[in-house]
Amino acid sequence: MSLLVTGSIGIDTVRTPFGVSKDCLGGSAVYFSMAASFFAPVRLVGVVGSDCPFDFSQVFQGREVDLQGLQKRPESKTFRWKGSYQDKMDEAVTEGLELNVLSESPPEVPPQYRDSEFLFLANTAPSLQMQLLEQVESSAFVAADTMNCWIANERDGLTALLGKIDMLIINENEARMLAGDSNLVTSAKGIIEMGPSIVVIKKGESGSIVLNKQGDMFILPAYPASVVKDPTGAGDSFAGGLLGYLAKSGRSDFGSVKKAVVYGTVVASYTISDFSLNGLGDITMDGIERKVEELRKMTEF
């Protein structure tokens, strides 16, 4: 089934204990699209400036990523982010941020995308997420991401958005902040009361927790990665694998969501193995399925 993503496309500079990747391709929509394309065709809506050096037809060569929603603005500059990771590499330190084109009006969703059956609103201002959501037919299954600055500074807009979506994908610190509760289980329940029928809480190397409004819960550890070079994009790759699997299956029941979380977890384990999209470049569905089976054996009892 059709899957639409809208989010950032950026030029990143990342430093970790394993080296530096300067002016590499990044952005939530990019990581999501690459991850989701292993499972289902992806419609990408995003915007870059005239300084963007990347050929996206080459970036996504061999992947079913539709770029008709990619807009290039000749008078604008591309979003840039510079960050670093230290020690356990569980959190990025932002050293430079240039919103550039992301501070402008959002791109329009092409008419031929508006019947998309699954939609992911990657992390950006809730007001912009709402504008994009309003351009898609109301029958879509909608998942969204957010972050601490929107929780702190655009609470009303975020609350309005939560009432319009089906799934929120959020990390553990953001979940505690949003719910005002230190306990992740009660935080998830509190977020459910705000609107979404499913909450997925990412816990980094500790895996994830999933809860729905019926009270069903699923807990999964992360895939045990032996090499972690760059965590950038892991959360968006996780979301891409998750929504890609749901779009492929055409279902959003809790059983399907549980399986989708497994696939998202596995795809994210590839992302962290190298800088930028390099970790996702050469993998295959056979490799993904092998890791899924390994994770299944590790967690069954």
Give tens-digit pLDDT for 196-212: 999 999 998 899 999 99
Q: CA 115, CA 278: separation in Å to the nearest integer?
A: 32
Provide the token pair at 293: 């089976």
* pTM for this prediction: 0.96
The SS3 assignment for 265 reads helix
From 125, 146, 136, select the one nearest 45 (Cα to Cα).
136
Q: CA 207, CA 190: separation in Å to the nearest integer?
A: 20
Q: What is the pLDDT of residue 136?
A: 93
Give tens-digit pLDDT for 22-49: 999 999 999 999 999 999 999 999 999 9
From 99, 101, 27, 112, select the one nearest 67 (Cα to Cα).
112
Q: CA 123, CA 192: separation in Å to the nearest integer?
A: 19
Q: What is the pLDDT of residue 282?
A: 84
Alpha helices in 82-218 (DSSP H): 126-133, 148-153, 155-162, 172-179, 184-193
Cα dihedral sign, 203-10-102-118:
negative
Comparing 89-93, 95-99, 130-134, 290-294, the range with the smallest average pLDDT is 89-93
Contact present, 221 and 209 (Cβ < 8 Å)? no
Task: Kindly tell me if the per-residue pLDDT of 193 is higher than 90.
Answer: yes
In the chain, DSSP finds a helix count (H) and a strand count (E) of 11, 13
Domain ranges of the chain: 3-299
Residue type, 200: V
Provide the token pair at 177: 């902040």
Q: What is the pLDDT of residue 270?
A: 96
What does CATH list as the number for 3-299? Answer: 3.40.1190.20
Q: What is the pLDDT of residue 301?
A: 87
Give tens-digit pLDDT for 210-259: 999 999 999 999 999 888 999 999 999 999 999 999 999 999 999 999 99
From 236, 210, 290, select the one nearest 35 (Cα to Cα).
236
Residue 91 pLDDT level (bands cut at 50, 70, 90): confident
